[in-house]
Amino acid sequence: MRKDGLRKLLALARVEWRLRQQSTFLGFLWTLLNPALMFAVLYGLFVKWLGRGQGDYAVFLLIGIVEWNFFASATSNALSSLLRRAPLMTNYPLRAEIPVLASVLSVYFSHLLELAALAALLSIRQGGTAASWLWLIPLDLAYLGLAAGTGLLLAGLFVFYSDLERIWGIILTAGFFLTPVFYPLAVLAPEKSRLLAFSPLTAVIESARLALAGSAPGVTALACLILWAAAALAAGLAFLRFKRAAIGDAL
Amino acid sequence: MTGLTVSNISKSYRVELPREDALSALIRFFSGRSPTRSFDALSGVSFELKPGAALALCGPNGSGKTTLLKVLAGITAPSGGTVSFDGKRTCLLGFASILQDRLSVKENARLCAVFFELPGDPAKNAEAVMAAAGLEHLRNARAGELSAGMKLRLPFMAALASGADLFLIDEALAVGDAEFRARCLKELKTLNARGAILVFATHDAQLARAMAGEVLTLDNGRVTYRGPSDKLPGTRAPRVPGAEFKEGLRRFPLLHARLKASGFTLSEAPPASDDELLLVHSPSWLARLKANDLSGQEETELAMPHSKLTLPLSWRMAGGTITAARAAAAAGGLGVFPYGGGHHAFPDRGEGFCPVNDMAIAARVLGREGAVKNPAVIDLDAHQGNGTAYIALAGGLKTFSAHKADGYPSRRVRSVMDVDIPAGSGDEAYLAAVKRGVTDFLEMVKPDFVFALCSADAYEKDPLGGLKVSMEGLRKRDEFLFGTLARLKIPACLVLGGAYSSPEESVQINFNTIKAAAAAYPSFNKIVGV
């Protein structure tokens, strides 16, 4: 992407983020309140059952929620981004990737705030930080790539198939339960646990938990995540480029 | 920088055909395919422009001007042909789409600076754009609080400062206040003289002649004229038809008598207040209305003959439409005010026999009172509703206009939906265009209230309308419109706008319209505002 393209991407991401904050009464506090509320509900429901076998279930759950929320919000926001920005797309020579990536980036800004709050909480609870936390940087960059790639594909498809919004909502609901957000993989049967380990979301969440607990993430999980992210980005970018003219006409 | 070379450009779209029955809908559902037809938006367009050249694109709405500009800008890929240009392009097409009403003027200036690729620091560029637009003092105001004319200064100024070699402008030169427009034109001429290529779409033949050496006229996507702008066919200055206007006013006493004899009650509405006029019009225009001091030259320029007679009626005109609209909204039915329909009036000036835009004022008054949420204007006058369309750019009102393709007003502002009807079309073509347009518009906009401007000037003997529709054709038009609105349970305020044929014929057409509207809304109390 050329320098001007990058500037437009950042400018649009800034606009999206500001619009999301300004359109609510509590502004950016929602960024923290949403996962906090979800945490309170899940913790209250499952601490007695799942908390027994999982040490420090509160931290375990918070990391799961923060990481899951990013993917769910970023992809949902990206899905409608091309249609939302159709007036701009039809009046300015703007590459189709830019509004999609801007919407993912705007959610990423919020995600970084959530991670910062989580890190602050953990440093108080654990009495300091650990070098292994730095693993979050490559992890989150790969995760951003995964969300961006998925968002690009979804946004391109949504221009032609309006049912996709509903379908994606259902997939995300299923995905929430098929990802170890609030339960440890150990509570599942071994064959199911092995199957879920192939999911990039499992890889992100489990790796983030390891990194924040002071250990290095597993190489297999990292490789799995990077491969998924690269595949998603390649598929998303290829789809938008291949369908560029058709998307322009459909908008 | 090289010149711009356009070789044999064509652009086709697939247009989905309407599904007429349940069977075709089922076939579409199970096959996943829609019946479509090909629509050629552009066909075989070629031209070359050297650095420093200016080209005006003319032609009726839907002729392919915007599509051509989008192809030149690289927004739309052509189906065939090539565009060759080596340099920086800047386009001002639907430029309001870049602006964010909920963000500050400063944020919007920054966005414009980035999108028009101004070199350097975006924050500094934003300051420069605000200064050039004269909006520094409003830096922290929300862009949504500005008038449409003030808002458009930001993208325009950013575009002018972009250092582009090719400027592509779509009817943007028609909007904004006179001073700003003159300044933009001057700066564009300077850039053009320095070597920038200028391609702009316009309905204004005078503007085409003033700004461009060459004109390319499109019709149905094909070039119908290309040559020097001073030889553009049909570019003589419009005549101000003062006599016809005065003749049109003579119909009202006759209409009153006809309505009374038919059991309608005539009721004088209270005049609108200054505050209500200011919901749409600028304080400067209100002052001119009060002073009633338009010069003869201004009367000619604004097509406001006999302004001494009409300007003082502004408050009554707006008040009548407000009262009729209130009655319609309260009853969920119909309100009628024959004198309304000032659809050429802009916020800062009256135009085309219209001292104030009573429909826009009434829409804002009712919106402020919470009586309507999504009002729309269905404008069936033979002349395009440019003033209403301009006011609607600021939001809160959707406009539809079905009018003669060329002629007055030469400087048009795009409505949500415009239907250009060829001169002399006659009943069949006129009714088909109106019915299809109104149906699509209502389906798209889903208004909760409609101001219906059902003028009589499409009539075949009307000297200014030129659409050659019979009295029977107009009756069918009105029965269709009010039947549709009533079926959809949309309250309507009927205004009658202009009529320039003989007073007797105009009265008959106006009476037919009121009768058709009253028949469609049985709850109508038969009170007509005067």
Pick the residue from chain B with its C-alpha nearest to A22. Answer: B102
Q: Between A18, A92, A248, which is nearest B115 by CB?
A: A92
Q: How far apart are CA B335 and CA B527, in angstroms?
A: 8
Chosen from B117, B156, B166 to mutate, greatest number of chain A CBs within 10 A: B117
Minimal CA separation from B174 to chain A, in Å: 17
b/e per residue B71-98 (b: at least 16 CB within 10 A): bbbbbbebbebebebeeebbbbbbbbbb
Residues of B in contact with A15 (CB under 8 A): 100, 103, 107, 111
Q: Between A19, A244, A249, which is nearest B103 by CB?
A: A19
Q: How far apart are CA B470 and CA B476, in angstroms?
A: 10
* Whether A248 and B98 lie within 8 Å, measured CB to CB: no
Output the pLDDT for position B237: 44
Angle at B61 between CA B476 and CA B510, to 5 degrees: 25
Helices (H), B370-502: 386-392, 426-445, 471-487
Helices (H), chain A: 3-22, 29-50, 57-79, 81-84, 86-89, 97-126, 136-160, 164-177, 190-196, 200-212, 219-242, 244-250
Q: Between A18, A89, A249, which is nearest B107 by CB?
A: A18
Residues of A in contact with B14 (CB under 8 A): 249
Output the pLDDT for position B236: 45
CB within 8 Å of B190: residues ≥ 6 apart: none
* Whether A15 and B114 lie within 8 Å, measured CB to CB: no
Q: How far apart are CA B334 and CA B369, in angstroms?
A: 18
Tokens representing B349 are 């000036």
**Could you read off the pLDDT of A232-251 as tens digits, one per residue?**
999 999 999 888 878 877 77
* Whether A244 and B114 lie within 8 Å, measured CB to CB: no
A244 — contact with chain B (CB < 8 Å)?
A: yes
Q: Which of residues 19-48 of A touch B (CB under 8 A)?
A: 19, 22-23
Output the pLDDT for position B434: 92
Evaluated on CA atoms A176, A178, A180, A184, the torsion sign reads: positive
Q: Between A23, A87, A248, which is nearest B97 by CB?
A: A87
Q: Between B74, B95, B100, which is nearest A93 by CB?
A: B74
pLDDT at A197 exceeding the cut of 60: yes
pLDDT in tens, chain B (530 residues): 678 888 888 888 776 655 556 666 666 666 666 666 677 888 888 888 888 888 988 887 778 888 899 898 888 888 888 888 888 888 877 766 788 888 888 888 998 888 888 888 888 888 888 888 888 888 888 877 777 777 788 888 888 888 888 888 887 665 566 677 778 888 888 888 888 889 988 877 777 888 888 888 887 788 888 888 777 665 444 455 556 666 667 777 888 888 888 888 888 889 999 999 999 998 888 888 888 887 777 777 778 777 887 888 899 999 999 999 999 999 899 999 999 999 999 998 888 888 999 999 999 999 999 999 999 999 999 999 999 999 988 888 999 999 988 778 877 888 888 998 888 888 888 999 999 999 999 988 899 999 999 998 888 888 888 888 999 999 999 999 999 999 999 999 999 988 888 888 888 899 999 999 999 998 888 888 88
Tokens representing A97 are 């990737």
Q: Is the peptide bond before B409 cis (omega within 30 degrees of 0)?
A: yes
* Whether A90 and B75 lie within 8 Å, measured CB to CB: yes
Give the pairing type, strands B197-201 and B54-58: parallel
Residue bearing tokens 């008040």: B319
pLDDT bin (cut points 50, 70, 90) of residue A73 is: very high
CB-hemisphere CA count at 13 Å for A203?
Answer: 22
Q: What is the amino acid identity at position B400? A: F
Q: Between A8, A89, A248, which is nearest B77 by CB?
A: A248
Average pLDDT of every residue of chain A: 86
Backbone phi and psi for residue B83, each to the nearest 5 degrees, phi listed first: -120, 125
Helices (H), B212-357: 242-249, 251-261, 274-277, 283-291, 296-302, 307-310, 314-331
* Whether A15 and B95 lie within 8 Å, measured CB to CB: no
Output the pLDDT for position B245: 65
* Whether A91 and B95 lie within 8 Å, measured CB to CB: yes
b/e per residue A86-110 (b: at least 16 CB within 10 A): bebbbbbbbbbbbbbbbbbbbbbbb
pLDDT at A130 exceeding the cut of 80: yes
* Residue B171 burial by Cβ neighbours in a 10 Å radius (0-12, 13-18, 19+): buried
A245 — contact with chain B (CB < 8 Å)?
A: yes
Q: How far apart are CA B63 and CA B45, in angstroms?
A: 12
Minimal CA separation from A170 to chain B, in Å: 21
Helices (H), B262-419: 274-277, 283-291, 296-302, 307-310, 314-331, 358-369, 386-392
Residues of B in contact with A7 (CB under 8 A): 114, 117, 122
A2 — contact with chain B (CB < 8 Å)?
A: no
A249 — contact with chain B (CB < 8 Å)?
A: yes
CB pairs under 8 A between A and B: 59
Q: How far apart are CA A202 and CA A218, in angstroms?
A: 12
Minimal CA separation from A66 to chain B, in Å: 28
Q: How far apart are CA B209 and CA B229, in angstroms?
A: 5
Tokens representing B509 are 């057409």
Q: What is the pTM of this model?
A: 0.61
CB of B331 within 8 A of CB of B488?
no
Q: What is the amino acid identity at position A117? A: A
Q: How far apart are CA B302 and CA B318, in angstroms?
A: 19
Chosen from A1, A21, A91 to mutate, greatest number of chain B CBs within 10 A: A91
A91 — contact with chain B (CB < 8 Å)?
A: yes
Task: Give the C-alpha distances (Å, rounded to integers) separating A20 from A77, A88, A109, B163, B505.
Answer: 11, 18, 11, 33, 57
pLDDT at A105 exceeding the cut of 90: yes
A169 — contact with chain B (CB < 8 Å)?
A: no
* Whether A93 and B115 lie within 8 Å, measured CB to CB: no
